[in-house]
Chains A and B, each alone.
Chain A
């Protein structure tokens, strides 16, 4: 088994004025696995993600991260592109910040854009991209550094159903190329069961572990995966965890 890429041990996060937001909560990520964090709104799943990214420190407990600087990428709920930069310059930003030469950074950015299906939109500004295209550019920016750990914070929440399904397949196709460990936060049970190899369910806030399901199926998912018994069962199990997690908190 691959060594852990990151782990949370008994982490708790308190926000001043708002009280406990998360925990105690444990999560261990193995290299190359895809984990979905599912939970009701306000359960602290985004906080857990920020802990994994190293953007925040826990109030109590331990965070271990094997990924070094530039080996972790985050995709936020909104595309979070700089409006004054072209798609290429936006995607090249992580490389530019790491001190890579401009020409090389732009070349790799254009390749990353092509991989997410945005060849031809290199010079477009974020304002000229549709919601789905902007999210793809954001994904390209996250993948351009070849991260070991990719963190997605409700990345498709603002998109329509067709676009989010296409993007889910895109993420899985990208995963196959470099096999980063992926954690993505969602409150959509079907999306979690479709994308993840392991679905971790959290209770209502402050979030604790409520249950876990593994989904043993090939990635990228075969056509018609959503109609298989395996998928339906996984959705049922996750929904069950979610319901009992809500009940336990209430």
Chain B
């Protein structure tokens, strides 16, 4: 019963809000280019389903590629950094600087560097920059999170550095890495969309481009449809990663 109400309550609120929206639009005869009623958005969604799905896949694919790149680079750098305190001190401020600089500010630069013909490369690079930090800092924290007494045990039994890494530090880091990847997955999508906006060309043809394109043509209902598709895709990715996290942690703890 409680489960049912926790499921129904948000749906009911959404239904009421959509109803008010629809009614307001119809009663006021609001122009469609200013605020289309929900029904028009649904129609736009259905009419453009194919192209929206394709664009969503483009954006998703770029975000995932960026996530993989950020994982390799962030994870690798984290590994190096935990091997040397000096390296840690050297890398930290740069990593933080990269993290606090708004991606939109560096996006035009990257777009220039990637070349006008390759907006997709710029988008992947920018999304990877945003996704880098949570993976990097999560992995660094995880690699240094092992129980100090377990570290002593590895000293006692004369473990080699490789053994310490593969049998202690990496497994101990796993929950932190999973958490970092989950946060990074959300950021990668945001980064990809922001980068698409800045690239602003039709070369990449992701969801952000659909929003821009529809906006330029004053097809407001189609804009909304693309936003809905984007929200659905991001929510889907979030759910998948949340699920992976839950399963991963369950496996790690053994219950």
Contact = CB atoms under 8 A, between A and B. Distances in A.
B159 A97 contact: yes
A128 B174 CA distance: 20
Contacts of A84: 171-172, 174, 252-254
Contacts of B8: none
Given A76-B149, A78-B149, A83 B252 contact: yes
B153 interface: yes
A97 B155 contact: no
B156 A54 contact: yes
Interface in A25-65: 50, 53-55
Given A78-B149, A82-B150, A98 B157 contact: yes
Interface in A124-159: 124-128
Contacts of A113: none
Interface residues of B, number: 21
Contacts, number: 62
Given A80-B150, A97-B163, A72 B253 contact: no
Residue among A54, A73, A82 with the highest chain B CB neighbour number at 10 A: A82
Nearest to A86: B254
Contacts of B158: 69-70, 97-98
Nearest to B163: A97
A74 B154 CA distance: 11
A219 interface: no
A96 interface: yes
Interface in A106-131: 124-128
Contacts of A128: 254-255
A96 B167 CA distance: 10
B58 to A, nearest CB: 38
Contact of A97 (B147, B154, B172, B255): B154
Contact of B152 (A74, A83, A93): A74
16 contacts: A55-B152, A69-B157, A76-B152, A84-B174, A84-B253, A86-B254, A94-B153, A97-B154, A97-B159, A97-B167, A124-B254, A125-B253, A125-B255, A126-B254, A127-B254, A128-B255
Interface of B: 147, 149-150, 152-159, 163, 167-168, 171-172, 174, 252-255
Given A74-B153, A83-B252, A84-B253, 14 more contacts: A55-B155, A55-B156, A69-B158, A73-B156, A74-B156, A80-B153, A82-B171, A84-B174, A84-B252, A84-B254, A97-B154, A97-B159, A126-B254, A127-B254
Interface of A: 50, 53-55, 69-70, 72-74, 76, 78, 80, 82-86, 93-94, 96-98, 124-128
